[in-house]
A and B are shown apart, each in its own frame.
Chain A
């Protein structure tokens, strides 16, 4: 039924250029049959006259110009979905790899999706309690938000993501909830960490996993987040579920994109990444959200490792320009032994303002967090001064700020991996450490809240806050 083509002209990196094709469309899916009988899949990146440029997902290794048959399938890349998909594990080609039976799809969906009409969006505003103070208190996450973790090699982003997946809940509601986990080029160990944690807590029963490991074909990484999000959309908007999508590691995704761009000899943008990296990432991240009249939602936590811990590198930079904030992990907090090592100052949740406050968290939440920010920033500034000048150059108030900033890290930010703090508790800890500062310093907090909640600190300081 589909015509088969044999005439390969060029093979460059993950791309093949085919001659003398007929009736092929841009974006169309292709099936490439090797002499060994192995079948790979690809996608048309450009079509001009009778020449088609095809990107091969599994890579071109082992493909020769001869003995290869290619057919075009007349449609874009699709994934079959059904409500049975929950609890299953897939590889980067969308095949089941958990040993169970294949999925019997109730329908096939194009993995590219379509942009949501801004008029159809519902503004995300339901506070998600993750039980982690540095998130809930300082950078609250809401349902339908896209909030990435900017990490670095060797930092515990996987632990944090797993803790979020385990503990997240919306205070007022108990509804259907599932996690979709997409691993792109991560190590076996890291993928295994998630799978084991999901199994331990039973979360695997309400999770869908897509796994592409470091030694799996790189080009598959282009399709994985799109498959994951297509499944997410199906579950959220057709099955009324609240979906948390964890994408790790987006840096590997971007590198796969760079590989294709280089093979096409495109004019590179910054650091060799293609000029359309922003637009491409947006077609992934913008698939988070809420839709009016639908019960479900899609919340995204993409994880990326910043090359050289540099947040101005194009991958974190362009991600930050698209997502609704970012959680940044700090190597220096990590080496001080603080878990989770979230550096709240450069971290940000842009949607927190509509998710917190009276009847959502607590009326004083916004003021408290603004004050904590200001005080912590000042404390850190003082610390910098001390490095240069020594403590003798400080005023007594400066000294208090410096101690405050340590309290903040040791009492507020630091918590156990299994510790699930209610939001009340988080805010109360905030007040507790603000008690270390004189009342008059609390300029960002309304008088009435100060009167209600402020208590001077009269415990002794915790161990080794010298």
Chain B
């Protein structure tokens, strides 16, 4: 059946067509002589409102529209890892090879390679009963990822054929006898992006998603399956944090969605990730990464779709039992794309012109995260953590996207313009940020890292809060008003800020710090503080205490290699000895 719609109106990315009866809302259509990609987003009487994912210049009334009668789906199967797709899952590398440097219109290209052969290893036998979600075999998709082949969620029955073979994603690898006859299975599945993939059960998250970023792991941690947001004005470090997390988090799979941001930032990932090594496995990071790129100059409707494309792919890997982390940079651009489509649809605007459904769309997106028991009979666990950047206009957090996001996320990393302009990176404001996962993570770190973890973390934060109070005081009455004890505290707070919280993403050593090393670093600073306080009681001059030679070693401890922790023992011993010497000189 081929429906024959006709364009009656074109306004930017919105096209209105008549005569598409039988087409459902959210079905895909091909628009105009160029056969542009579009999705039906509203139906009013006989008028079908279509958001078009490609540039519409040159389109006019009278041109044909053809319905596919299918919802917008992503393709799921081997070949996702290491790829870069646009917002509607067109493979940008293949398109680059075939169509040149620019993205031109009307390109149709299947997301996954149809010719590449994969070696399928069965894990089930003929005669086995199988249910939706069951893993029946796998292929080695990359050096890091075993891609598990699962029974489609709506299928159950008995395997009547399954075999180890080299095949493309469209070759039949197994057959299931179901109540409705025999069903052939391939390694390729499709899933409508706007529906979430089913899970058996949602669980509480219990383990930290370790990021290697000191300020995050120590003070504002996120869990595997958790959700965090990073709001901040331009240039405050959102993208750097998202890139850092994509590099270093201890997840199995990373899905990075560049939503309405810079082309060069995607290129940076494409250049760096094949070379950078995963700290856990030593393999290139690209071997666990999927990229979705809808840069700011690409069509705005496809930007709206890109986050859904990304999260559906992420859910698919979670369903295999992996820990997946999705970065979305920036969710504000997604919100703006919604606003633009909404205004073209002449919908009643809500706050600041955003559609009234902004909050519910954001919430249902973040709700697709979580720590879960996957669909399937073996009760494997997987998790999907979501970290979204938010770009509030003028850095003003009272705007709708930020506010609606804060209602659903549990970790809030608030980036601060003032810190960024002092180059205090990551510019996460330690006084206003929070994480509701802290208790869960403390339980974990107290057991696996050190029993004093929580105590140290709290003590350190207390110093920082006290510093903020004292700073107020200094501003009012001057440094003279502080006791030596307070001045010491100010010095230690400075050490915490400059030697611990400050972390340079571009330094080979400093870019990643394990939990163990984080603990050792804190421990040095706190021991210094305790000892120094003791010395003050013996009336030893503060200026001497804060100028012991070890101070410069402390400033350099972030460069101590991960495989040389003895260095910390030596540093601590040297520092204590130097402090000790001060009190000896005094008494002798």
- A contact set with B: CB distance below 8 Å: 23-28, 45-50, 75-76, 112-124, 144, 237, 266-270, 275-276, 278-279, 282-283, 286-287, 289, 291-292, 294, 312-314, 317-318, 320-322, 324-326, 345-346, 348, 350-351, 353, 366, 370, 373-374, 377, 385, 388-389, 393-395, 398, 440, 443, 447
Contact = CB atoms under 8 A, between A and B. Distances in A.
9 contacts: A76-B57, A115-B298, A123-B264, A123-B268, A279-B296, A279-B300, A282-B296, A346-B421, A393-B478
A350 B62 contact: no
Contacts of A47: 9-11, 60-61
B295 interface: yes
B474 A120 contact: no
User: Most B CB atoms within 10 A — which of A118, A266, A348?
Assistant: A118
B127 interface: no
Given A25-B10, A443-B498, A385 B101 contact: no
User: Most B CB atoms within 10 A — which of A276, A313, A321?
Assistant: A321
Contacts of A112: 55, 57
A118 B293 contact: yes
Given A47-B11, A119-B93, A443-B499, 20 more contacts: A23-B60, A25-B59, A27-B57, A49-B8, A115-B102, A116-B101, A118-B267, A119-B270, A268-B353, A275-B339, A278-B333, A279-B336, A286-B263, A291-B101, A312-B395, A320-B233, A370-B504, A385-B474, A389-B477, A389-B478
A118 to B, nearest CB: 4
User: Most A CB atoms within 10 A — which of B58, B93, B477?
Assistant: B58
B352 interface: yes
B552 interface: yes
A78 B62 CA distance: 25
Given A267-B353, A317-B393, A443-B499, A279 B263 contact: no
A312 B393 CA distance: 7
A321 B233 CA distance: 8
Contacts of B235: 320, 325-326, 348, 350
Given A25-B60, A275-B339, A370-B423, A124 B264 contact: yes
Contacts of B57: 25-27, 76, 112
B267 A121 contact: yes
A278 to B, nearest CB: 6
The 9 closest A-B CB pairs, nearest first, are A27-B57, A312-B394, A393-B478, A282-B296, A25-B60, A320-B234, A48-B9, A26-B10, A286-B297
Nearest to A75: B58
A371 B556 CA distance: 14
Contacts, number: 211
Given A76-B58, A114-B103, A123-B268, A324 B474 contact: no
B474 A289 contact: no
A388 B478 CA distance: 9
A210 B336 CA distance: 32
B160 to A, nearest CB: 42
Contacts of B340: 275-276, 279
A28 B95 CA distance: 27
Nearest to A121: B267
A48 B506 CA distance: 52
B499 A289 contact: no
A58 B92 CA distance: 39
Contacts of A440: 547, 551-552
A91 to B, nearest CB: 24
Contacts of A25: 10, 57-60
A117 B264 contact: no
User: Most A CB atoms within 10 A — which of B84, B102, B555?
Assistant: B102
Contacts of A318: 393
B479 A395 contact: yes
A389 B343 CA distance: 53
B391 interface: yes
A324 B336 contact: no
B279 interface: no
A348 B237 CA distance: 11
